[in-house]
């Protein structure tokens, strides 16, 4: 019976995710109790706050951003490439796109398209540096993308200066890029019960996910990409140009990463300033792992993560450090990764024995 449940890959994913969730809830409860807080009331406070219409809008908006970030990471992961540089890619892309958007005024749709295009190109190019180093000099993309994150921070600090690309934001000490005029802003979607609007870029994010799913599972290119990630040697023997695949995958990953800042930029802040959200790249890694690199899984994981982030805001009012959520998230991440591994292995063994039993042979 267990065999039949674990036979399908998606049931394995769901089982693993549930087990991991339960496990991390337990860990969180332990940490809370040890620190002197009451787990059930903490969870309840979070849940109550999270159900609020305002919260829901914020959750969806956050989730859209996380989704794009995780998608970018997942493209890399499918190829066994670790694009840890999503963080630097999206910030640099957002900044330059914001600056471009603020500098020119174009008719409505064109304006937005140009902004998004700039973001995608910048993200792709920044990732291409790491790709280039990998295929020509064999430099690990893990280290190079991380270094590029730091360098991107330096570049942004350099450019976000009133002498170069930035202006003072009226009525504060903040500086940011020239705000984008109304022709470049994307309208929001109303949600009943809330004054806040859902970023319409959410729709673009969903499209991106669908496109990714289709590409990976139904196209020749997607087959090549998956094959290279599963076994590079077999893929090369089958005719795949491994170096080309690495570059294409990294650039695609960087391009999607470039879009990460777009929901916020085009739907909320309209300018890149010192307080533009950071760290979303690393969140994306966690979510991609949680969602097992599948567009559907990542969607659920993004919503979960965003919900946790949003509902944790209430904790400060109850004097509970809201970092407990960070611990929950990290615990989910670590446990999910372990549980997936175990479930996959057990599933494989069951498969092999099942086949061997059916054929009457010694299992491979």
Partner 1 sequence: MIEQEVRAPAPDTARSSGLTRGLLIGLGVFVALILLRLITGESDITSSGTMGATLALAVPIGMAALGGLWSERSGVVNIGLEGMMTFGTWGAAFGAYFSGSPWLGLLGGVVAGALGGLLHAIATVTFGVDHIVSGVAITILAPGVTRYLSDLLFTDEQGGGATQSPPLPNFPTWSVPGVGKPLGSLEKHHWILVSDLAGLVRGVLTGLSPVTLIAILLVPASFYLLWRTAFGLRLRSCGENPFAAESLGVKVYRMKYAAVVISGALAGLGGVFLAMVASSNYQEGQVNGRGYIGLAAMIFGNWRPGMVAGGAGLFGYADALQLRGGAGAVHAMLLLIGIGLLALAIWRGYKGRVVAAAISAVVGVGVLVWFFLTDALPREIVTYSPHITTLLVLAFAAQRLRMPAADGLRYRRGGGH
Partner 2 sequence: MSPTEPAVELHGITKRFPGVVANHDIDIEVVAGTVHAIVGENGAGKSTLMKILYGMQRPDEGTIKVAGNEVSLHSPADAIARGIGMVHQHFMLADNLSVLENVVLGAEKLYGIGGKARRRIEEISRQYGLGVEPDRLVEQLGVGARQRVEILKVLYRGAKILILDEPTAVLVPQEVEELFGNLRELKREGLTVIFISHKLDEVLSVADTITVIRRGTTVGTVEPGEVTARQLAELMVGSELPVPELRESTVTDVPVLSMSDVTVRDAGGRTLVDDVSLTIHEGEILGIAGVEGNGQAELVEAIMGMLPVESGVIRLGETDLTKLGTRRRREAGIGFIPEDRHRHGLLLDSPLWENRILGHQTRPPNVKGVLIDRQGARRDTERIVRDYDVRTPGIDVNAASLSGGNQQKLIVGREMSDDPKLLIAAHPTRGVDVGAQSAIWDHLRHARAEGLAVLLISADLDELIGMSDTLRVILRGRLVGEADPATITPDQLGSLMTGAGEGSAA
> Which residues of the chain form contacts with partner 1 (CB under 8 A)?
31, 35, 82, 84, 133-134, 137-140, 142-144, 146-148, 150-151, 153-155, 157-158, 282, 285-286, 289, 321, 323-324, 326-327, 329-331, 333-334, 337-338, 341-342, 345
Among 219, 318, 321, 342, binds partner 2 (CB under 8 A): 219
How deeply is 131 buried, as exposed, middle or buried, from its count of CB atoms within 10 A (0-12, 13-18, 19+)?
A: buried
Residue 278 in contact with partner 2, rule: CB under 8 A: no
Among 23, 223, 282, 300, binds partner 2 (CB under 8 A): 223
State the nearest-atom distance from the C-beta of 240 to partner 2, in Å.
Answer: 7
Of 105 and 356, nearer to partner 2 (C-beta) is 356
Among 1, 2, 170, 362, binds partner 2 (CB under 8 A): 362
- List residues bridging with 188 in a β-sheet: 199
Only one of the segments 132-140, 188-196, 273-281, 353-361 lies at the binding site for partner 2 (rule: CB under 8 A); that segment is: 353-361
Are the CB atoms for 93 and 266 separated by under 8 Å? no
Are the CB atoms for 108 and 187 separated by under 8 Å? no
Residue 316 in contact with partner 2, rule: CB under 8 A: no
Residue of 207, 277, 206, 212 lying closest to 64 (CA atoms) = 206
Of 133 and 205, nearer to partner 1 (C-beta) is 133
How deeply is 44 buried, as exposed, middle or buried, from its count of CB atoms within 10 A (0-12, 13-18, 19+)?
A: exposed
Residue 44 in contact with partner 2, rule: CB under 8 A: no
**Which of partner 2, partner 1, none lies near 346, with the C-beta cut-off 5 to 8 A by kind?**
none
Token pair listed for 179: 């705000």
For the stretch 326-356, what's the b/e string if a residue is b when 16 or more beta carbons lie within 10 angstroms of its beta carbon?
Answer: eebbebbbbbbeebbeebbeebeeeeeeeee
Residue 1 in contact with partner 2, rule: CB under 8 A: no
DSSP state of 297: H
Residue 218 in contact with partner 2, rule: CB under 8 A: yes
- Where does residue 300 fall: left (phi above 0), alpha (psi -120 to 50 degrees), or beta otherwise? alpha
Among 36, 107, 171, 360, binds partner 2 (CB under 8 A): 360
Q: Which positions touch partner 2 (CB under 8 A)?
A: 217-224, 227, 230-231, 233-241, 348, 351-364
């Amino acid at each position: 019976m267990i065999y039949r449940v674990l036979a399908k890959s998606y049931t394995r994913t769901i089982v693993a995710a549930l087990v991991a969730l339960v496990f991390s809830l337990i860990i969180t409860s332990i940490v809370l109790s040890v620190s002197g807080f009451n787990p059930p009331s903490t969870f309840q406070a979070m849940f109550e706050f999270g159900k609020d219409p305002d919260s829901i809008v914020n959750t969806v908006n956050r989730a859209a951003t996380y989704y794009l970030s995780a998608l970018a990471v997942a493209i890399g992961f499918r190829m066994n490439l670790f694009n840890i540089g999503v963080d630097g890619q999206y910030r640099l892309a957002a900044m330059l796109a914001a600056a471009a958007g603020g500098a020119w005024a174009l008719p409505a749709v064109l304006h937005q398209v140009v902004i998004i295009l700039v973001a995608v190109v910048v993200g792709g190019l920044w990732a291409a540096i790491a790709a280039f180093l990998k295929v020509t000099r064999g430099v690990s993309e893990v280290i190079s993308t991380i270094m590029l994150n730091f360098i991107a921070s330096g570049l942004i600090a350099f450019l976000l200066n009133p002498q170069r690309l930035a202006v003072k934001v009226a009525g504060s000490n903040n500086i940011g890029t020239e705000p984008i005029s109304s022709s470049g802003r994307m309208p929001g979607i109303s949600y009943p019960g809330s004054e806040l609007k859902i970023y319409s870029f959410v729709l673009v994010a969903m499209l991106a996910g669908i496109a990714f799913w289709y590409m990976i599972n139904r196209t020749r290119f997607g087959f090549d990409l998956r094959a290279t990630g599963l076994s590079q040697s077999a893929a090369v023997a089958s005719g795949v140009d491994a170096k080309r695949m690495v570059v294409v995958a990294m650039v695609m990953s960087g391009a999607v990463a470039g879009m990460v800042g777009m929901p916020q930029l085009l739907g909320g802040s309209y300018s890149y300033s010192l307080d533009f959200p950071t760290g979303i790249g690393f969140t994306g890694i966690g979510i991609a792992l949680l969602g097992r690199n599948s567009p559907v899984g990542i969607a659920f994981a993004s919503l979960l993560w965003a919900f946790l982030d949003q509902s944790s805001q209430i904790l400060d009012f109850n004097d509970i450090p809201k970092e407990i959520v960070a611990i929950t998230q990290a615990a989910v991440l670590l446990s999910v990764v372990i549980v997936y591994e175990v479930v996959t292995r057990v599933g494989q063994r069951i498969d092999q024995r099942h086949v061997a039993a059916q054929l009457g042979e010694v299992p491979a």
